[in-house]
């Protein structure tokens, strides 16, 4: 059949012809093409942005830290690759590590894209394919989608071809994991970057679909505050606990509760991103979220073991594999609502709700798989109302009595097996001794650091339920765990970018610090609060999402205010923005894209490389995944890095197996072209990594400031950034950074208050020539300052090209 | 004399190549014999008992301290050669034969590690084990499989005794 092109057309006089329209493909891309604004790489395949990747990887080289020296992917193996040896298929350790990293990235991307596909199917069914995308005051409704695919979605239906593209790319990438495919580490790396970029597309689909349909705040700086913390849950009421990331099914529960006057009668609590999205649901017109947030994954086992939840509803992602067993032991029925997690339970989707309730109440079944949202909506609230009085009368909990607690702490033989098994090597044995002597403080300290993984319990020769002991000892602090989190606001709006874009590009707003990731913190949750507070006080814009957004809301200042109450939520210097749940992370990359589009008038449509080049050189943004534990955090971070946003991980992040780190001492690597004439121009060695790790929260502070420096900073901007870099290094490390001089182009870059002293150091320690009368630098800097220079990594973007 | 080689139990393994357990005396000899040793310490060194021992180890040998994490704060007014560096960056530079070291005087031949988070330093050592020819020696409290040589798992007080013995033999 001849090709029918996009647009409108008339067919006359047809007889006996059946026309089936599957989907209209390419219409929006065609429109962009016709308007002459389609960039060179709409819907890029694996090879299309490879040139950019290789440029990045040339400056920021992969550093591999294997988690395992062997490969067991195929039956030629197990192959020992120690010392970068080759396996039977010819792959060496470096390439295998890059392959392992790629696998993590596409696993994370698939989790988001799978979530997005599930949501989109559901929302198209309930709202129709023509339902408009509405994300707030913006002309670029889907910045990531538009930049990567060239598609400008207007309706839910427009998101389908976007997800088709995501799924195709993920399949192609997964195929390259197979034995006997790619052999070069660098191209596995390029593929990983591709997967990370694709992840942000999938996330954006998910979040803009749910924002548009589920009444979530639309770029609202004043999104309402929600309660968070184990201490906020009223355990006297029936407690319904929802765990996971996909809020679709839970909205039916909330609607049912609303319609049946149960909202005040049931305590609806959530863990992980489902909790965040529960507080966003129907909040676009203001109000107070009724759902409460328990916390992140680290609270899952702790909260179940407390026995407080009366019914548990799980959907997908970051749900413990043993929820059913743990819950069953405490007579808590579990309802699975998503095919990703079914726990071997019978599928009751077609059964009568009364029958399911009877089976769960009587304990005949420990749980049920129910995929029909209408039924879930009715089942969960009714069940919790019926079972709660029974459970509460029995006082069911896994936590020991006072007597049993004494017995357990005395039983410890201090063999240290638990400490060795603990991912953090927490000092459990000493805490046991102290508790046996009546001092609970060491356990109270452990409570926040412990991620409740339960590994210690598996090793204890005395069968002590260590998590229960920690939680029992910490009841007093748990009751005080009460905080606030601003509900996720979604995107940053166009007017906000218009106001703030110039400050970001010139550097007078010192930078954007985006904090993402969850649970696997090196030293508990307080670090997040401390990092955010330090940077907010210094006028950085702090953007948060997911579990980080929750955990930093747990702490308060002297006036009893959380950071959300202390700092405003606009996209302005010194503001704290919660974009939302895991899938809202796409709004972080989207924000930098919008700066390019709105402030610099760059064409973003199907133009990823040019936009990434812009962001790399001009937008002072840095990501932190402090507790990066999941594959999703790997893909989110990798998506940021392909766009030129550096990401720092907490120390556990070294287990992702690879970092991308530059060599500041190799001057060849630190130059770009000036787009005005194609001449080479030196740039500062910052950021000096694209993805790396630090040891603790104090070490990260100066690195954050340094990572926000960009070649386009004006003098004022560079001076501000440098002031923070030096001050933070002195405050947290006790020393001046040894590379501060590398960022000086002229004397006006120097922090004003210390200009004279710093000039002296430049003269005596670095041999720079100073005109002391005029307080001017005569020679020394490797970089020139030129306010109208146009840094780019691409020769083809230069004028003479 | 402390036996630092007895307990080399691992909770999980990385592969077939594991650190050789080492006694304090031998460790001291290795450090003394090295031409360009690098002493890589991290934030746990700010614990007073450890700092009291890390300083003489550096001081007696004159070796460079790579002060990773926030450990530099412990060495500010001490008679040692210490410089802050991020450990992941250090791992990258150590893999580059073109790097001239923290003092610009050339590469290192022995890497000694102390006062690190076990899970973090094991990753760094995994990188060095697989991609460099460097000899790495752990005098930390945990058995670090990915070092070339390592103390076994030690109770904190035994670890301090072992460090004292090492210092005496420098
Ligand atoms: S994929 Fe290659 S390295 Fe891995 S087990 Fe098979 S032959 Fe060995
Ligand atoms: S494993 Fe059990 S007995 Fe051994 S120290 Fe830990 S709690 Fe005590
Ligand atoms: S449950 Fe807590 S104490 Fe036990 S191993 Fe996990 S993190 Fe460590």
Rounded Cα distance between A789 and A692, Å, is: 29
- The burial class, CB within 10 Å (0-12 / 13-18 / 19+), for A318 is buried
Q: How far apart are CA A557 and CA A550, in angstroms?
A: 16
* pLDDT tens-digit readout, A705-715: 999 999 999 99
Return all residues near A112 (Cβ < 8 A) that are at least 6 apart: A199, A202, A203, A206, A582, A583, A632, A635
Residue A769 phi, psi (nearest 5): -95, 130
**Relative to the CA of A456, which ligand 2 atom is closest?**
1
Q: Which residue of B has its CA nearest to A423?
A: B119
Question: In angstroms, what CA-CA distances link A657 with A34, A91, A94, A99, A693?
Answer: 45, 17, 10, 10, 11
Which residue's C-alpha comes closest to atom 8 of ligand 2? Answer: A412
A735:B72 CB<8 A: yes
- Fold match, A225-394 / A486-779: yes
Span from the CA of A459 to the centroid of ligand 3 (angstroms): 11
In this structure, which residue's CA is closest to atom 6 in ligand 1? A74
Identify the residue whose tokens are 């990501």.
Answer: A623
Out of 3.40.50.1220, 3.40.30.10, 3.40.50.620, 3.40.50.11750, the CATH code matching B20-168 is: 3.40.50.1220
CA–CA separation, A496 and A503 (whole Å): 12
Mutual angle of helices A93-127 and A159-175, in 10-degree steps: 160
pLDDT of residue A11: 59
C-alpha distance from residue B66 to each of A199, A232, B37 (Å): 37, 45, 11
B138 upstream amide cis, omega within 30 of 0: no
Dist. CA B143 → ligand 2 center (Å): 19
Q: Which residues does A650 contact at the CB level (< 8 Å), separation at least 6? A: A517, A520, A521, A522, A625, A626, A627, A628, A693, A694
Burial label for A11, CB within 10 Å (0-12, 13-18, 19+), is exposed
> Residue A4: its pLDDT value, please?
53
Q: Whose atoms come closest to the Cα of A455: which ligand?
A: 3
In the numeric block, the tokens 């000039």 are attached to A759
**Is A699 in the B-facing interface, judged by CB distances under 8 Å?**
yes
- Bridge partners (DSSP) listed for residue A689: A661
Res A109: pLDDT? 98
pLDDT digits (tens, 9 = 90+) for A98-157: 999 999 999 999 999 999 999 999 999 999 999 999 999 999 999 999 999 999 999 999
DSSP code of residue A6 = S
Q: What are phi and psi of B65, to 5 degrees?
A: -100, 125
SS (H, E, C) chain B: CCCCCCCCCCCCCCCCCCCEECCHHHHHHHHHHCCCEEEEECHHHHCHHHHHHHHHHHHHHCCEEEECCCHHHHCCCCCCCEEECCHHHHHHHHCCCCCCCCCCCCCCCEEEEECCCHHHHHHHHHHHHHHCCCEEEECCCCCCCCCCEECCCCCHHHHHHHHHHHHHCC
Q: How confident is the model at residue B54 (pLDDT cuts 50, 70, 90)?
A: very high
What is the Cα Rg of chain A in Å? 27
What is the distance in angstroms between the CA of the first residue and the CA of the last residue of chain B? 15
What CATH number labels A225-394? 3.40.50.2030
User: Which token pair is A760?
Assistant: 């002296």
Enumerate residues 64 to 103 of chain B having a beta carbon within 8 A of any beta carbon in chain A. Answer: 68-70, 72-73, 76, 83-84, 86-89, 91-93, 95-96, 98-100
Q: Which ligand number lies closest to the CA of residue A75?
A: 1
Q: What is the mean pLDDT of each run of 10 residues along chain A (801 residues)?
A: 50 60 54 76 98 97 97 96 97 98 98 97 97 96 98 97 98 97 97 98 98 97 95 96 95 97 97 94 93 93 95 96 97 97 98 98 97 97 98 94 96 94 94 96 95 94 96 94 96 94 85 91 94 98 95 96 97 96 96 93 96 96 94 97 97 97 95 94 94 98 97 93 98 97 96 95 97 94 88 91 57
Pairing of strands A61-64, A658-661: antiparallel
Token pair 């328990």 is found at A294
pLDDT of residue A17: 60
Q: Which of A66, A68, A83, A88 to mutate to test the pocket of ligand 1 (most atoms within 8 A of CB)?
A: A88
Instruction: Give the ranges where A643-677 is alpha helix by DSSP (H).
Output: none
Inter-chain touch A651–B118, beta carbons under 8 Å: no
CATH class of the domain comprising A39-213: mainly alpha
CATH architecture of A486-779: 3-Layer(aba) Sandwich (3.40)
Mapping DSSP onto H, E and C, the string for A97-140 reads HHHHHHHHHHHHHHHHHHHHHHHHHHHHHHHCCCCECCCCCCCC
HSE at residue A624, side-chain half, CA atoms within 13 A, is 34
- Nearest chain B residue to A693, by CA: B88
The closest-lying atom of ligand 2 relative to the alpha carbon of residue A416 is 5
Comparing alpha-carbon positions, the chain B residue that sits nearest to A84 is B130
Encoded tokens for A132: 């408009």
- Rounded CA gap, A29 and A162, in Å? 11
What count of CB pairs under 8 Å joins A to B?
131
DSSP track, A342-404: -TT--B-TTS-HHHHHHHHHTTS-SEEE---HHHHHHHHHHHHHHHHHHHHHHT--SSPPHHH
- CB A411 near ligand 3, within 6 Å: no
DSSP-derived letter for residue A570 is S
- In this complex, which of A64, A420, A696 lies closest to B127 when CB atoms are compared? A64
Rounded CA separation A614/A617 (Å): 5
Collect all residues with Cβ–Cβ distance below 8 Å to A362 and sequence separation of at least 6: none
| Contact present, A483 and A564 (Cβ < 8 Å) | no
Pick from A69, A654, A732: CB nearest B17? A69
Could you give the angle at which helices A631-642 and A93-127 cross, rounded to 10 degrees? 100
Q: What is the pLDDT of residue A2?
A: 45
CB atoms within 10 A of CB B109: 14
Q: A647 touching B, CB under 8 A?
A: no
Assembly ipTM:
0.97
Chain B contact set for A83 (CB, 8 A): 17, 129-130
Q: Which residue, B82, B136, B141, is CA-closest to B111?
A: B136
Contact: A654, B124; criterion CB under 8 Å: yes
Q: Cβ of A271: how many Cβ atoms within 10 Å?
A: 28
Say if CB B146 and CB B129 are below 8 A apart.
yes
Dihedral sign computed on CA atoms, order B123, B128, B129, B134: negative
Burial level of A104, CB count in 10 A (0-12/13-18/19+)?
A: buried
* Nearest residue by C-alpha to atom 3 in ligand 1: A87
Helix, coil or strand: residue A409: helix
- B119 and A63 in contact by Cβ < 8 A? no
pLDDT computed for residue A386 by the predictor? 97
| Rounded distance from Cα A297 to ligand 3 centre (Å) | 13
Q: What is the domain partition of chain A in residue ranges?
A: 39-213, 225-394, 402-479, 486-779
Chain B residue with minimum CA distance to A419? B11
A564 in Cβ contact with A530 (< 8 Å): no
Q: Please choose, from the candidates A317, A289, A323, A321, the residue with its C-alpha nearest in 3D space to the C-alpha of residue A303.
A: A323
Task: Tell whether A68 lies on the interface with B, counting CB pairs under 8 A.
Answer: yes
In A, residues 513-532, which contact B (CB 8 Å cutoff)? Answer: 522
| Calpha distance A241→A142 (Å, rounded) | 33
Q: Look up the pTM and report it.
A: 0.95
Angstroms from B67 CA to nearest CA on chain A: 10
Tokens of A371: 């995929």
* A69 CA distance to ligand 1 middle (Å): 12
- Closest residue in A to B89 (Cα) is A661
């Amino acid at each position: 059949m001849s090709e029918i092109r996009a647009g409108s057309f008339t067919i006359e006089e047809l007889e006996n012809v059946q026309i089936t329209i599957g989907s209209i493909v390419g219409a929006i891309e065609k429109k962009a093409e016709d308007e002459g604004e389609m960039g060179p790489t709409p819907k890029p395949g694996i090879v299309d942005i490879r040139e950019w990747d290789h440029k990045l990887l040339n400056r920021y080289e992969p550093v591999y830290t294997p988690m395992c020296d062997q490969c067991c992917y195929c039956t030629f193996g197990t192959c020992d690759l120690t010392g970068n040896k080759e396996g039977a298929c010819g792959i060496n350790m470096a390439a295998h590590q890059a392959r392992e990293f790629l696998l993590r990235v596409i696993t994370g991307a698939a989790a988001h894209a799978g979530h997005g596909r599930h949501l989109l199917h559901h929302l198209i069914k309930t709202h129709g394919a023509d339902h408009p995308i509405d994300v707030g005051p913006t002309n670029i409704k889907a910045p990531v989608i538009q930049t990567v695919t060239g598609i400008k979605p207007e309706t839910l239906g427009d998101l389908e071809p976007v997800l088709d593209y995501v799924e195709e790319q993920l399949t192609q990438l997964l195929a390259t994991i197979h034995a006997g495919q790619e052999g070069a580490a660098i191209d596995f790396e390029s593929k990983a970057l591709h997967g990370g970029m694709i992840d942000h597309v999938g996330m954006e689909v998910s979040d803009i679909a749910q924002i548009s349909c589920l009444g979530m705040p639309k770029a609202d700086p004043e999104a309402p505050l929600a309660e968070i913390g184990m201490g906020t849950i009223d355990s006297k009421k029936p407690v319904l606990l929802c765990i996971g990331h996909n809020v679709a099914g839970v909205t039916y529960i909330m609607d049912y509760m609303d319609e049946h006057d149960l909202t005040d009668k049931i305590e609806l609590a959530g863990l992980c991103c489902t909790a965040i999205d529960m507080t966003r649901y129907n909040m676009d017109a203001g109000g107070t979220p009724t759902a409460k947030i328990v916390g992140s994954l680290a609270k899952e086992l702790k909260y179940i073991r407390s026995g407080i939840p009366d019914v548990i509803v799980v959907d997908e992602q970051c749900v413990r594999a043993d929820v059913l067993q743990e819950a069953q032991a405490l007579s808590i029925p579990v309802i699975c609502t998503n095919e990703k997690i079914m726990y071997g339970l019978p599928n009751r989707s077609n059964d009568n709700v009364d029958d399911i309730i009877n089976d769960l109440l009587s304990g005949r079944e420990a749980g049920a798989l129910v995929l029909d949202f209408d039924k879930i909506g009715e089942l969960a609230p009714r069940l919790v109302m019926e079972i709660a009085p029974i459970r509460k009368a029995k006082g069911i909990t896994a936590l020991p009595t006072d007597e049993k607690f004494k017995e357990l702490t005395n039983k410890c033989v201090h063999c240290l097996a638990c400490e060795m098994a603990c991912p953090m090597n927490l000092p459990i044995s000493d805490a046991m001794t102290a508790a046996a002597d009546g001092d609970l403080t060491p356990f109270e300290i452990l409570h926040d650091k412990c991620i409740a993984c339960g590994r210690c319990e598996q090793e204890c020769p005395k069968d002590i339920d260590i998590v229960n002991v920690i939680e029992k000892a910490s009841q007093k602090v748990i009751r005080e765990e009460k905080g606030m989190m601003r509900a996720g606001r979604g995107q940053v709006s166009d007017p906000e970018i218009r106001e703030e874009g110039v400050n970001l590009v010139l550097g007078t707003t010192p930078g954007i610090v985006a904090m993402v990731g969850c649970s696997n913190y090196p030293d508990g949750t307080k670090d997040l609060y401390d990092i955010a507070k330090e940077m907010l006080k210094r006028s950085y814009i702090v953007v948060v999402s997911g579990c980080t957004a929750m955990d930093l809301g747990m702490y308060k200042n002297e006036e009893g205010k959380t950071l959300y109450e202390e700092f405003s939520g606009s996209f302005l210097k010194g503001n704290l923005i919660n974009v939302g749940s895991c899938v809202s992370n796409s709004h972080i990359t989207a924000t930098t894209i919008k700066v390019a589009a709105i402030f610099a008038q760059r064409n973003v449509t199907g133009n990823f490389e040019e936009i990434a080049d812009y962001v790399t050189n001009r937008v002072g943004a840095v990501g932190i995944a402090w507790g990066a534990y999941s594959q999703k955090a790997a893909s989110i971070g990798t998506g940021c890095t392909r766009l030129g946003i550096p990401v720092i991980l907490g120390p556990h992040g070294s287990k992702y197996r690879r970092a991308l780190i530059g060599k500041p001492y190799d001057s060849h690597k630190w130059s770009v072209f000036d787009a005005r004439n194609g001449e080479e121009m030196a740039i500062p060695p910052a950021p000096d990594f694209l993805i790396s790790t630090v040891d603790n929260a104090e070490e990260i502070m100066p690195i954050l400031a340094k990572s926000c420096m960009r070649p386009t900073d004006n003098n004022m901007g560079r001076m501000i950034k440098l002031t923070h870099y030096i001050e933070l290094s002195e405050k947290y490390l006790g020393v001046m950074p040894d590379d501060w001089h590398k960022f000086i182009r002229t004397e006006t870059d120097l922090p004003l208050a210390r200009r004279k002293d710093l000039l002296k150091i430049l003269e005596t320690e670095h041999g720079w020539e100073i005109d002391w009368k005029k307080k001017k630098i005569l020679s020394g800097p490797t970089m020139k300052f030129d306010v109208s220079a146009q840094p780019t990594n691409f020769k083809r973007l230069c004028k003479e090209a | 004399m402390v036996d630092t080689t007895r307990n080399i139990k691992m909770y999980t393994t990385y592969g077939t190549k594991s650190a050789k357990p080492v006694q304090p005396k031998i460790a001291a000899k290795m450090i003394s014999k090295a031409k360009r040793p690098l002493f890589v310490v991290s934030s746990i060194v700010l614990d007073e008992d450890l700092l009291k021992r890390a300083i003489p180890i550096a001081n007696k040998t004159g070796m460079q301290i790579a002060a990773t994490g926030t450990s530099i704060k412990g060495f500010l007014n001490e008679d040692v050669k210490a410089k802050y560096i991020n450990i992941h960056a250090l791992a990258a530079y150590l893999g580059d034969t073109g790097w001239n070291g923290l003092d610009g005087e050339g590469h290192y031949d022995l890497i000694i590690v102390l006062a690190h988070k076990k899970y973090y330093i094991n990753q760094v050592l995994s990188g060095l084990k697989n991609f460099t020819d460097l000899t790495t020696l752990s005098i930390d409290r945990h058995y670090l499989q990915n070092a070339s040589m390592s103390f076994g798992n030690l109770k904190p007080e035994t670890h301090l005794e072992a460090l004292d013995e090492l210092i005496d033999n420098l």
